[in-house]
Amino acid sequence: MTLTRWNPLREFDDVFNRYHTGMLTKPADDSSSEWSPLADITETEDAFHIKAELPGVKKEDVDVSLSNGVLTLRGERKTEEETRDEKQHRIERFHGTFVRRFDLPDNIDQSSITADYVDGVLDLKIPKTVKKSPETMKVEIH
């Protein structure tokens, strides 16, 4: 067995990063949520992209919905069965239900949102609507 030196600052960094990652998006407001998946949000000229890490979560256990401009990811990572001959020393992976919400801007095409799920990564493409250029018109003064 190899001994490793305990570094309390490394554990503090983990807690700090998890806390601040959740602050970038809308709070879950759901006390049943046990963990929150990490997500990358990017923007191109024609769409927004959200990639959420969901390792160990089956596609059937993920629900994506949109309501009042808020995109919600909800699901569950099931716990693995424990065996009697196995001694657990450390459990770091989160299990249980999760909820993650994202406020979307007004310039999206709600009917064209697509989602792909490959290798534990949920990839959402949220197309932007085409902005109409403002029309110029002359107003007569009376």
Calpha distance 42→127 (Å, rounded): 12
Q: For 64-117, how does the pLDDT look when each residue is reduced to its tens digit (9 = 90+)? A: 999 999 999 999 988 777 667 777 777 777 778 999 999 999 899 999 999 999
Global confidence as pTM: 0.66
Q: For 35-60, how does the pLDDT look when each residue is reduced to its tens digit (9 = 90+)? A: 889 999 999 999 999 999 999 899 99
Q: Are 107 and 129 in contact (CB under 8 A)?
A: yes
Q: For 8-20, how does the pLDDT look when each residue is reduced to its tens digit (9 = 90+)? A: 666 665 555 555 4
Query: SS3 string of the chain?
Result: CCCCCCCHHHHHHHHHHHHHHHCCCECCCCCCCCECCCEEEEECCCEEEEEEECCCCCHHHEEEEEECCEEEEEEEECCCCCCCCCCCCCCCCCCEEEEEEEECCCCECHHHCEEEEECCEEEEEEEECCCCCCCCCCCCCC
Q: Go through the domains of the chain in sequence order and give each one's CATH number.
A: 29-79+92-127 (2.60.40.790)
Reading across the β-sheet that carries 96-103, which strands appear in turn? 62-67, 70-77, 96-103
